[in-house]
Amino acid sequence: MLDLLSQVLDKLTLNAKDFVDIRYAYSMGETITVRNGRFDSVSNQTTGGIAVRALINNAWGFTSIIQTDKESITKAVEKAIQIAKVGSKYTDEKRIISDDWVYEGKGETVIEIDPRDIDKEIKFKKLIETEKAARKYSDRVVEASTTYQESHSREFIVNNKGTKVENEVHVIRLMKNVIGREGTKMQNVFDSIGGAGGWELVEKWDPEEEGIKAASQVEKLLHAQTPPSGKMNVIMDPSLTGVFIHEAFGHACEADAIIAKRSILEGKIGEQVGVEQINVFDDPTIPGLRGSFKYDSEGTRTSKRTLVNKGVLTEYFHTLETATALGMKPNGSGRASSFNVTPLARMANTYVDSGDMKLEEIAEIAKEGVYLKNSYGGYVVPAKGQFYFTCQMGYTIEKGEIANLMGNVGMSGMTLEVLKNTFAVGDKWEPAFLGTCGKGGQWVPVTGGGPNMGVSDVVVGGQK
């Protein structure tokens, strides 16, 4: 495929400042969901096609097609160039891609056990027995569902600067969602395992244990107290720290938002944005995590990014375009979820590095507040620097001790305040938030994580 794409590219007559890349993306996936003892969905999906980008005279043209023959690809390239030329008439900004970054190579997720070789009955058994154990545990469990997902994607990328890359990523995930109801009160517990790899990442899942664990948490949450409301001290567990750093900070570090002047962190490289104990990284090179890959969708080799070093902002997430525009080095953050969309600057595995405090010590400093656990997700408006995230459960902190169980709640904070309001960083980081990040209509697998972390003045949106 690389040769075919190169042949099309070689026939083009381009100016020195022009940029054209062609990407073939193919993906196969399998999804199985069991809900309340029934197969809700047993499906597989195949997508494949060609994506062409052309940057001509400061404007981009993009086309995608489902045909993969030479003639169709050639026409798609011509079309991308043609529409870029139209766009260039209405563009005031200077946009180029540097000639400095050329990549060649092949990346492939290491798989120990290929999930495609695992019998469906074995996959079914994990799902059925998990949700069955949850429902058996309590009559108050009204819905128990389990989902298995595997995806196998390949990208072939060539560009006129000389990049020729093939990348293969395999992602696997096993999820459970248990909902309990008592009258009008409902609580749910969600959890998952998996990452970039094979069956070995989910093999250890013990269905009965996982089902009972979720159901017993739901039982307790149905009788938990209502979360408080107002501004208070918050301790986040590693999963919450993960979604917090992803939403509150990670999105604001995406360089396309920086260039578009839509991030609160624009122009803040080298500035103190948090307390000295804070170090934030994003590392797609860690094997086995959901956001792990060797080359991005522009063919750039990925590397570990240091976003914050001792409280100082040091790096953004870059595509080739943003790195050129800001005079920085690309770091392989250009991710596209399919052939039908263009790569955007995205996170991969984002985490706060560990500090040195035990949970009990952090609670003692907090004195009063809440200890929040298990993320549900969140969102941010990077232009305003206002973010929101939610947890599944938590505990009140009273007189410096972790006290009473409480139900789910959402929180709001300001990006430029929270890292400065951090008063304690726990002693062990975990990649505990397994997420799927949405941006511009594209969804990509990510991980977030960190240690327990104490932050003051977070707004908690409870009902009392």
Partner 1 sequence: MSLSEELENLSKHVIKYGLSLGADQVEVYIVTGVTKAIQIELGSIHKFTETSDSGIGVRVIKNKAIGMSSTTIFTIESIEQTVKNAYSLAKVSTPDSNFNSLPEDTTPTPTIADTFDKNIIELPVEDFTQIMLESINEAKVEENAIISGNFSAGSGERYIVNSQGIERHSVRTSINGYLSVKIQKGDDIGNSYYFDSSPLLRNFEHIKIGKEAGKRAKRMLGSQKIETKDLPILMDPETTYFTVSNILSRGINAFNVINKTAFFIDKIGDKIASELLSIKDNPFYPGGTGSAAFDDEGVVPREVSLVKDGILQTYITDSYTAPLVGLKNTAHASRDSFSSRPRPSLYSLEIKAGDTPKDSIQEDMKEGILLIGSPIPSMGNNPQISAQINQGFYIKDGEIKHPVKNTVIGCTVFELYEKIAVLSKETENRKGHISPWILLEALRISGGK
Nearer to partner 1, 83 or 275 (CB): 83
Binding partner 1 (rule: CB under 8 A), the pick from 11, 358, 384, 428 is 384
Q: Does 187 bind partner 1 (CB under 8 A)?
A: yes
Nearer to partner 1, 38 or 310 (CB): 38
Nearer to partner 1, 80 or 446 (CB): 80
Q: Does 334 bind partner 1 (CB under 8 A)?
A: no
Choices 8-16, 118-126, 199-207, 354-362 (CB under 8 A): range interacting with partner 1:
118-126
Contact positions with partner 1 (CB under 8 A) in 338-377: 340-342, 376
> Contact 350/440 with Cβ under 8 angstroms?
no
Task: Specify the long-range contacts of residues 264-268, CB closer than 8 Å, at least 24 apart.
Answer: 264/382, 264/383, 264/384, 264/385, 264/415, 264/416, 265/313, 265/316, 265/382, 265/415, 268/313
Task: Please tell me the distance from the alpha carbon of residue 298 to that of residue 53, in angstroms, as a whole number.
Answer: 10
DSSP 344-396: EE--SEEEEPP-SB-HHHHHHHH-SEEEEEEEEEEEEETTTTEEEEEEEEEEE
Closest-CA residue to 212 (of 129, 317, 286)? 129
Binding partner 1 (rule: CB under 8 A), the pick from 292, 390, 396, 456 is 390
Binding partner 1 (rule: CB under 8 A), the pick from 330, 343, 413, 450 is 413
DSSP 252-300: GGBHHHHHTT--TTTT-TTSB-S-TT--EEE-TTSTTSTT--SB-TTSP
Q: Does 408 bind partner 1 (CB under 8 A)?
A: yes
Q: How many CB atoms lie within 10 A of CB 450?
A: 34
Nearer to partner 1, 281 or 389 (CB): 389
Q: Does 265 bind partner 1 (CB under 8 A)?
A: no
Q: Shortest approach of partner 1 to residue 370 CB, angstroms? A: 12
Nearer to partner 1, 14 or 86 (CB): 86
Q: Does 181 bind partner 1 (CB under 8 A)?
A: yes
> Contact 387/247 with Cβ under 8 angstroms?
yes
Closest-CA residue to 163 (of 291, 292, 50, 295)? 295
Contact positions with partner 1 (CB under 8 A) in 226-245: 227, 229-231
Q: How many CB atoms lie within 10 A of CB 234?
A: 27
> Contact 418/385 with Cβ under 8 angstroms?
no
User: Position 305: which residue type?
Assistant: R
- Cα distances (Å, whole numbers) of residue 436 to 79, 233, 329, 352, 441: 32, 28, 26, 19, 12
Contact positions with partner 1 (CB under 8 A) in 189-228: 227
Q: Shortest approach of partner 1 to residue 31 CB, angstroms? A: 9
Q: Shortest approach of partner 1 to residue 438 CB, angstroms? A: 13
Binding partner 1 (rule: CB under 8 A), the pick from 1, 75, 414, 423 is 414
Q: Does 383 bind partner 1 (CB under 8 A)?
A: yes
Contact positions with partner 1 (CB under 8 A) in 304-333: none
Q: Does 17 bind partner 1 (CB under 8 A)?
A: no
Nearer to partner 1, 364 or 457 (CB): 457
Structure token digits, residue 425: 């960083």
Closest-CA residue to 190 (of 390, 43, 352)? 390
> Contact 411/290 with Cβ under 8 angstroms?
no
Contact positions with partner 1 (CB under 8 A) in 149-168: none
Q: Does 13 bind partner 1 (CB under 8 A)?
A: no
What's the alpha-carbon Rg for the chain, to the nearest Å? 24
Binding partner 1 (rule: CB under 8 A), the pick from 16, 71, 184, 399 is 184
Task: Tell me the site size for partner 1, rule CB under 8 A.
Answer: 79
Choices 13-21, 33-41, 104-112, 158-166 (CB under 8 A): range interacting with partner 1:
33-41
Choices 258-266, 327-335, 356-364, 443-451 (CB under 8 A): range interacting with partner 1:
258-266
Q: Is 38 helix (H, G, I), strand (E, B) or coil?
A: strand
Choices 353-361, 365-373, 411-419, 424-432 (CB under 8 A): range interacting with partner 1:
411-419
Q: How many CB atoms lie within 10 A of CB 194?
A: 21
Q: Does 62 bind partner 1 (CB under 8 A)?
A: yes
Residues 6+ apart with CB under 8 A from 400: 363, 364, 365, 366, 367
Q: Does 275 bind partner 1 (CB under 8 A)?
A: no
The packing angle between helices 207-222 and 120-137, to 10°, is 30
Q: Does 291 bind partner 1 (CB under 8 A)?
A: no
Which x/- pattern, by CB under 8 A, does the window 72-111 give for partner 1?
Answer: -------x---xx-xx--xxxx-x----------------
Q: Does 39 bind partner 1 (CB under 8 A)?
A: yes
CA dihedral 357, 312, 377, 300 (to 10 degrees): -120
Q: Does 274 bind partner 1 (CB under 8 A)?
A: no
Contact positions with partner 1 (CB under 8 A) in 424-463: 457, 459-463
Q: Is 159 helix (H, G, I), strand (E, B) or coil?
A: strand
